[in-house]
Amino acid sequence: MIAITVEEPLVLGIRQDSQTMPGPGEIMVSIRRAGICGSDIHILEGSNPFVHYPRIIGHEMAGTVAAVGTGVTDMDVGDTVVIDPVISCGNCHSCGIGRPNVCTDLEVLGVHRDGGFRSFVTVPSRNAVRVSQDLPIDVAALAEPFSIAANILSLTGCTETDSLLIYGAGPIGLTVLQVAKLKGARCIVADLDDARLEFAHEFGADETVRAEPGNVRLAVASETGGLGPTVIVDAAGEPDLLAEALQIISPAGRIGLLGFSTRPVSVVQKDIVSKEVAIHGSRLNRRLLPQVVKWLENGDLRPRAMIRETFAAEDAEAAFAKIRNTPSLTIKVQLEF
């Protein structure tokens, strides 16, 4: 039994770990597959403001229920599950209006509290979603990253009448692209990296554009009869893009933001009000894993092609080095426990 930790910034560790028997309402899950996220890299690099060290990281995981606590009636030992890392209080204003992902006492597995890069993790049973035994475990472990896309597109809205511009063809941009295509929208993807734009093509982008000054504006000029994209998602986390997005978006357009920058940026109020643009911040997901699991089980998405490499958990150091050295080639790297 092992756990992958970030002991302090830039120091990855592998510890011997023990099992924590589930308390009332909890289950213990034997983790089988877990994905490494850009935010795990940020924790390793010391740039996540919510983390205290040392921390067992990991929030994209799938495994098998190994034990159930008292009062758990909807899970059995042997069930295959994916885990929603969003742990909420259930009592606050946000939880009461169905927005547990912005709970005032939010705790995210692998961020605020120890996560899932470990042989066994114990979590509230309501954070587990049962998946078909037929769903490959590596695909199951992609449910959480796809939930990021499901969340932002549920906030902005996305239908077959929409024309999307997605900034960023990294792992998050590619999940947003796939979910938007599933909903029938037309999608343009902008990125500075040619290899990533190639991936965007593979995953169904109708058009790709190198995000150099002026290029994006030109590429979207003909969208919806010259009005511009109806939805813009910033999956690059670049706050300066907001000013451009406000200028090129259609009237009544919706903008979704995922980044956590603390750097102030200038935007023009008139750009927002004259077109009645809605700006949505999107954090994690609001209990959308069941929906994502349905998509994965139905074969509606193309998750397999996202997984570029799988390492044994013991080789986590090599897995992280690979991502940090060649970020534009590794869409998703997973660890096998």
User: Which residues are near Mn ion by CB under 5 A?
Assistant: 37
- Sign, CA torsion 260/261/262/268: negative
Q: How far is the CB of 249 from Zn ion (least distance, A)?
A: 32
* Contacted entry of Zn ion, Mn ion, none for residue 92, CB cut-off 5 to 8 Å set by kind: Zn ion
In the numeric block, which tokens belong to residue 294?
Answer: 């349905």
**Interaction between residue 108 and Zn ion (CB under 5 A):** no
97 near Zn ion, judged by CB under 5 A: no
N-to-C CA span, the chain: 9
Q: Which is nearer to Zn ion, 1 or 89 (CB)?
A: 89
Cα–Cα distance, 212 to 142 (Å, whole number): 31
In the complex with Mn ion, which residue's Cβ is closer, 172 or 189? 172
Rounded CA-CA distance 1/304 in Å is 27
Tokens of 317: 């150091």
Give the one entry of Mn ion, Zn ion, none that residue 103 binds, where binding means its C-beta sits below a cut-off of 5 to 8 angstroms depending on kind: Zn ion
**Between 103 and 137, whose beta carbon lies closer to Zn ion?**
103
Q: Which of 283, 332 has the CB closer to Zn ion?
A: 283
Under rule CB under 5 A, residue 112 binds Zn ion = no
Residue 298, CA atoms < 13 Å, CB-side half-sphere: 9
Q: Which residue is nearest to Mn ion (CB)?
A: 37
Cβ atoms of 235 and 180 within 8 Å: the answer is: no
Contact region with Zn ion (CB under 5 A), list: 91-99, 148-156, 244-252, 314-322: 91-99
Instruction: Say which entry of Mn ion, Zn ion, none residue 61 contacts (CB below 5 to 8 A, set by partner kind).
Output: none
CB 274 within 8 A of CB 253: no
Q: What angle do CA 269, 270, 273 make, to 5 degrees?
A: 90
DSSP-assigned beta bridge partners for residue 31: 63
Contacting range for Zn ion; rule: CB under 5 A; set: 98-106, 147-155, 192-200, 224-232:
98-106
Three-class secondary structure assignment of 259-272: CCCCCCCCCCHHHH
Indicate the residue type of 24: P
Shortest separation between residue 88's beta carbon and Zn ion, angstroms: 5
Q: Name which position in 89, 221, 252, 268 contacts Zn ion (CB under 5 A).
A: 89
Nearest of 283, 215, 186, 281 to residue 242 by alpha carbon: 281
**Least distance to Mn ion from the beta carbon of 66, Å?**
24
Cβ-closest position to Zn ion:
103
* CB nearer Mn ion, residue 211 or residue 284: 284
- Between 211 and 289, CB nearer to Zn ion: 289
Contact call for residues 65 and 28 (beta carbons, < 8 A): yes
195 makes contact with Zn ion (CB under 5 A): no
103 binds Zn ion (CB under 5 A): yes
Strand 186-191, strand 163-167: pairing: parallel
Residue 173: strand, helix, or coil: helix
Give me the least distance between CB of 172 and Mn ion, in Å please: 8
Please tell me whether residue 2 adopts helix, strand or coil conformation. Answer: strand
Query: Look-up: residue for tokens 């919706």?
Result: 254
Q: Which does residue 37 bind out of Mn ion, Zn ion, none, counting CB within 5 to 8 angstroms by kind?
A: Mn ion
Cβ proximity to Zn ion: between 88 and 127 the closer is 88
Q: Shortest gap between Cβ of 327 and Mn ion (angstroms)?
A: 15
The residues of the shown chain that bind Zn ion, judged by CB under 5 A, are 88-89, 92, 95, 103
